[in-house]
Amino acid sequence: MLEKFKGLLTEEEGQGMAEYALVLGVIAIAVVAILVTFGEAIVDQFQEVIDNFTSSEEG
pLDDT tens-digit readout, 5-58: 666 666 666 778 889 999 999 999 999 999 999 999 999 999 999 999 998 776
φ and ψ at residue 11, rounded to 5 degrees: -70, 135
Which of the pair, 5 or 1, is modelled with greater confidence? 1
b/e map of 7-31 (b: 16 or more CB within 10 Å)? eeeeeeeeeeeeeeeeeeeeeeeee
Q: What is d(CA 54, CA 59) in angstroms, rounded to the nearest whole number? A: 9
- Whether the predicted model's global pTM rises above the 0.95 cut: no
Q: What is the pLDDT of residue 16?
A: 81
